[in-house]
């Protein structure tokens, strides 16, 4: 959590610090990112930064939270619009894609976050993942009850697959992954590799 001093700052100065920090954490992992470079690019003194934040990690977590709050504005639409699980999933990833196009730097920040291994970040990430797994499997059980989803599959395994593929998709938004490719990938998960008896797709 930033110190009060940071929030007392005139808006423009505060914003410029945020922007430079976003730039640095978008291009580098937490460990490789350089506080020294951030303060140089802001034109403020090193010591000032420590008037605003406890340490590098404090700044980082603040920036990550900023990024996720922006992203939330996009992806939450997926859970508001009704529909079954396939539509929700498609909408979720589609909104993520839009977010990545409209806020490329913030998108990179959220992305790098999951690769962090420094300090206690590993545990934090683990907890976040577990929370997501609970959410996901709840949705999934619902869909199974509705007869939409193959009941023979292990929910944990399904989450594992979606988590892995979701991360890979998001990693490559804007590079290899566009809207059409996104649909193709989701179809693979939906229909599975094995040829189907009835209509294949």
Task: Tell me: does residue 123 bind a copy of itself (CB under 8 A).
Answer: no
Which of 72, 141, 161, 179 lies at the binding interface for a copy of itself (CB under 8 A)? 161
Which of 10, 11, 82, 195 lies at the binding interface for a copy of itself (CB under 8 A)? 195
Task: Tell me: does residue 85 bind a copy of itself (CB under 8 A).
Answer: yes
Distance of CA 199 to the CA centre of its chain: 35
Nearer to a copy of itself, 53 or 136 (CB): 136
Instruction: Enumerate binding residues for DNA (CB under 7 A).
Output: 4-5, 8-9, 13, 33-37, 44-48, 50-52, 55-57
Name the residue among 98, 97, 96, 92 with its Cα closest to residue 78. 92
Q: Which does residue 12 bind out of DNA, a copy of itself, none, counting CB within 5 to 8 angstroms by kind?
A: none
Q: Which does residue 164 bind out of a copy of itself, DNA, none, counting CB within 5 to 8 angstroms by kind?
A: a copy of itself
Q: What are all long-range contacts of 169-175, with beta carbons under 8 Å and residues at least 24 apart? A: 169/93, 169/96, 170/93, 170/96, 170/100, 170/107, 170/110, 170/111, 171/111, 173/96, 173/97, 173/100, 173/101, 173/107, 174/100, 174/101, 174/104
Contact characters 97-116, a copy of itself, x per CB under 8 A: ------------------x-
């Amino acid at each position: 959590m930033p110190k009060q001093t940071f929030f007392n700052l005139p808006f423009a100065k505060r914003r410029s610090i945020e922007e430079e920090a976003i730039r640095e954490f978008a291009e580098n992992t937490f460990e490789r990112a350089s506080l020294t470079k951030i303060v140089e690019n802001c034109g403020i003194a090193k010591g000032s930064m420590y008037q605003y934040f406890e340490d590098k990690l404090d700044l980082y977590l603040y920036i990550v939270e900023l990024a996720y709050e922006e992203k939330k504005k996009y992806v939450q639409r997926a859970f508001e619009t009704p529909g079954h699980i396939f539509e929700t999933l498609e909408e979720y990833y589609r909104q993520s894609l839009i977010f990545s196009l409209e806020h490329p730097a913030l998108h990179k920040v959220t992305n790098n976050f999951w690769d962090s291994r420094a300090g206690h970040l590993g545990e934090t990430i683990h907890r976040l993942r577990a929370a997501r797994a609970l959410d996901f499997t709840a949705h999934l059980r619902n869909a199974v009850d509705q007869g939409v989803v193959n009941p023979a599959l292990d929910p944990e395994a399904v989450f594992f697959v979606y988590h892995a593929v979701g991360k890979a998709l998001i990693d490559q938004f804007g590079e290899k992954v566009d809207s059409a490719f996104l649909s193709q990938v989701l179809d693979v998960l939906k229909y599975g590799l094995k040829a189907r008896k009835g209509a294949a797709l």
